[in-house]
Amino acid sequence: MSPLSLDLSPDLFPALTEAQADPDGPGAHRPALRFGDRSLTYGELAATASPLAARVAEAGRIAVWATPTLETAVAVVAALLAGVPAVPLNPKSGESELGHIVSDSAPTLVLAAPGTQLPPALAALERLDIDTSAPTTSLPSPGAPDPESPALIVYTSGTTGPPKGAVIPRRAIATTLDALADAWQWTGDDILVHGLPLFHVHGLILGILGPLRRGGSVRHLGRFETAGVARELSEGATMLFGVPTMYHRIAETLPDDPALAKVLARARLLVSGSAALPVHDHERIAQATGRRVIERYGMTETLMNTSVRADGEPRAGTVGVPLPGVELRLTEEDGTTAVEAYDGETVGEIQVRGPNLFTEYLNRPEATAAAFTEDGWFRTGDMAVRDPDGYVRIVGRKATDLIKSGGYKIGAGEIENALLEHPGVREAAVTGEPDADLGERIVAWIVPADSQSPPTVDELADHVARRLAPHKRPRVVHHLDALPRNDMGKIMKRALTHD
Ligand code: MCA
Ligand code: AMP
């Protein structure tokens, strides 16, 4: 592992500061962001984001309607320049999820692209349109914020109850991005392409703030499509970020698309994360392109923990080695005794410590305390083994009630609660089952209120999508006469199998 000097400087975007100081200099003309046919150079981004930063500087906390657009990137940069914490909202969130996030995070303002219609759950908030069209001269940024101050509050699902807001300080963003720069030899010359959503760590922090911190650029596809990936890589993009579902779709497309294989072969780095990349997809891509996808492992609460390094061996099925500055250990069942073995077979829970960690779950001191050991290690809940050379292989998860579908973390409990609010459902249990495209798909097991006319899968999918979010909708529904329960009345999910 190479040494890394951790830059805790509050200036998250030196290239932007430089463009602001010298609006006619060469740095100001470098491309920063591109979404479809709309783009901003560093000079234009500084000129667009700094007046917005001045407008929001007095807000306690802001929400950003995080559509996959230029506006979202500008709004988040403005919040960071102003030192005002931003809560990115999934624009497909349903009423109950949005209502929870807004009442929990209590933003004073919501920033949205002009013309976007906002749902009733946001009606009580003052709205500010994000204007990217008419850059004026940039204004000086407000004072340098404390590195420990909150930068983003990102909502993430747990096994039960509604999502929790992970408070991510500026220090964690700066250090994780610099650690990745070290591991991936990521520089300002890189051009990143991706089509990830902008309300989670992967798409927003790595995919937008990452290139901006390096002084490089990002081209966002609006939505993921293999044709868009091929086009951008053929027009100069050097890196691709995606979740395994995206690489699965690439692997499926490759046999019929030699042009895609050609441009992937030329890319500097193909990176997968947010869930395990199946070895079969890894190998299919390697075979068709001669290139291996590298995996990195992270979490909303910890940002990035490990990665295969650009100068390391990209071994299928592993997430590489701890990033510079990150301490990682495996622990035994008791959660405190460290596993010393590097034998590729002794399983332990991954715990991490380092400047990449979040500060707390907003308004949830008990949940925050429970997430850490007494000596400050964060319990990830991920189970892994370590190879003799230190490579980490994730082999499972402690909680069976967490489902990773399309790279999204989804709690079984929140879907069960939503299903129980449907008049046609008397009892409900939710599990995940393997899915070649999504990794896991959500399965609902329900006892209908009326066995003669049970609700259909579409009805329940719509119900969950409207309340929570479309990616949380069940894809399969089984009807049962009763749920299997133990003597204590607890649902035995392991007994839920087909037929
Ligand atoms: C379908 N749709 C519906 C319904 N059915 N909408 C409302 N009600 C319904 N009943 C819509 C969907 O909203 C979507 O709309 C379209 O139909 C297709 O949906 P679906 O098949 O579910 O998904 P997909 O579009 O095929 O999505 C696959 C995907 C997506 C693109 C891979 O899952 C994705 O973007 N995943 C990324 C997750 C991610 O970024 N995770 C990072 C968190 P429309 O077509 O309009 O969209 S993890 C993280 O950050 C940590 C730190 C880490 O390590 O990275
Ligand atoms: P989230 O809470 O949505 O940020 O998701 C974090 C979780 O995603 C981790 O705890 C892991 O279970 C999973 N994850 C992220 N990256 C990887 C990876 N490369 N391989 C396997 N699992 C991953």
pLDDT tens-digit series, residues 18-28: 999 999 999 99
Q: What is the mean pLDDT of residues 130-154?
A: 80
Tally of structural domains, the chain: 2
Whether residues 354 and 427 fall in one domain = no
The lowest-confidence range among 141-150, 160-169, 288-297 is: 141-150
Assess whether pLDDT exceeds 70 at residue 445.
yes
Q: Cβ(251)–Cβ(218) under 8 Å?
A: no
Q: Best of 202, 403, 404, 456 to mutate for ligand 1, by most ligand atoms within 8 A of CB?
A: 202
Ligand 1 contact, 300 CB (< 6 A): yes
Residues 404 and 358 in one domain: no
Closest residue to atom 22 of ligand 1, CA basis: 471
pLDDT tens profile 349-359: 999 999 999 99
Q: What is the CA radius of gyration of the chain?
A: 23
CB 296 within 8 Å of CB 285:
no
What local confidence, expressed as pLDDT, does residue 160 receive?
87
Q: What pLDDT score was predicted for residue 133? A: 82
For residue range 253-262, what is the model confidence (pLDDT) as tens digits?
A: 999 999 999 9
Is ligand 2 within 6 A of the CB of residue 295? yes
Q: Quick one: pLDDT at residue 498? A: 63
Domain presence at residue 138: yes
Domain contains 8? no
Over residues 40-64, the pLDDT tens digits come to 999 999 999 999 999 999 999 999 9
Q: Per-residue pLDDT tens for 269-318?
A: 999 999 999 999 999 999 999 999 999 999 999 999 999 999 999 999 99
Half-sphere exposure of 354 (CA within 13 A, CB side): 25
> Which ligand places an atom closest to the C-alpha of 303?
1
Is residue 4 in some structural domain?
A: no
DSSP string computed for 68-132: SSHHHHHHHHHHHHHT--EEEE-TT--HHHHHHHHHHH--SEEEE-TTPPPPGGGTTSEEEE---
Does a structural domain hold residue 1?
A: no
* pLDDT reported for residue 497: 79
Q: Which of 154, 156, 204, 245 to mutate to test the pocket of ligand 1 (most atoms within 8 A of CB)?
A: 245
Asked if 371 and 405 sit in the same domain, the reply is no
Q: Are residues 384 and 436 in the same domain?
A: no
pLDDT at 1 over 80: no
Residue 23 is assigned to a structural domain of this protein: yes
* C-alpha 266, offset from chain centre: 26
- Indicate whether residue 299 lines ligand 1 (CB < 6 A): yes
In terms of domains, do 311 and 212 share one?
Answer: yes
Burial 333-372 (b: 16+ CB within 10 A, else e): eeeeeebeeeeeeebbbbbbbbbbbbbbbbebeeebeebb
Most ligand 2 atoms within 8 A of CB, residue of 176, 394, 395 to mutate: 394
Same domain, 54 and 31: yes
How much is the pLDDT for 144? 72
pLDDT-wise least confident of 87-91, 133-137, 360-364: 133-137
Evaluate if residue 5 carries a pLDDT over 60.
no
Q: In this structure, are 50 and 141 located in the same domain?
A: yes
Query: Is the pLDDT at 395 greater than 80, yes or no?
Result: yes
**What CATH number corresponds to the domain at position 468?**
3.30.300.30
Which ligand places an atom closest to the C-alpha of 210? 1
What CA–CA distance (Å, rounded) separates 434 from 163? 23
Which of 392, 422, 456 is the last residue in one of the domains?
A: 392
- Do 45 and 144 fall into the same domain? yes
Residue 10 has pLDDT above 80, yes or no: no
Is the pLDDT score of 391 beyond 70? Answer: yes
pLDDT of 3 > 80? The answer is no
Residue 182: inside a domain: yes
State the Cα–Cα distance between residues 415 and 425, nearest whole angstrom. Answer: 12
139: pLDDT strictly greater than 50: yes
Give the domain-ending residue among 392, 426, 445: 392
Q: Does the global pTM surpass 0.75?
A: yes
Average pLDDT over residues 98-112: 97
Q: Cβ(300) to ligand 2 under 6 A?
A: yes
> Is residue 73 in a domain?
yes
Please give the Cα distance from 414 to 444 (Å, whole number): 12
Q: Tell me, in angstroms, the distance from the centre of ligand 2 to residue 298's CA.
A: 6
Residue range 156-183: mean pLDDT, rounded? 96
Ranking 103-112, 276-285, 481-490 by mean pLDDT, the lowest is 481-490
pLDDT bucket at 499, cuts 50 / 70 / 90:
low
Ligand nearest to the CA of 465: 1
**Mean pLDDT score of the chain, rounded to an integer?**
95
Tens digits of residue pLDDT in 218-254 = 999 999 999 999 999 999 999 999 999 999 999 999 9
Share of the chain above pLDDT 70, in %: 96
Q: Starting from the CA of residue 224, give the closest ligand.
A: 1
Give residue 400's pLDDT band: very low, low, confident or very high (50, 70, 90). Answer: confident
Q: How far is the CA of 299 from the centre of ligand 2 (A)?
A: 5
- Give the number of the atom of ligand 1 that is nearest the alpha carbon of residue 224: 31
Overall average pLDDT of the 144-153 stretch = 92
Q: Whose CA is nearest to atom 21 of ligand 2?
A: 276
Residue 7 lies in a domain: no
- 38 forms beta bridges with 35
CATH code assigned at 95: 3.40.50.12780
246 lines ligand 1 (CB under 6 A): yes
Q: Kindly identify the ligand whose nearest atom is closest to the C-alpha of 276.
A: 2
Report the pLDDT averaged over residues 338-346. Answer: 97
Pair 421, 307 in one domain: no
Same domain assignment for residues 371 and 480: no
Together in a domain, 210 and 158: yes
Mark whether 288 and 187 lie in a shared domain.
yes
Q: Which residue, of 341, 371, 392, is where some domain finishes?
A: 392
Buried b (16+ CB within 10 A) or exposed e, 375-401: eebbbbbbbbbbeeeebbbbeebeeeb
Range of the domain at 445: 400-495
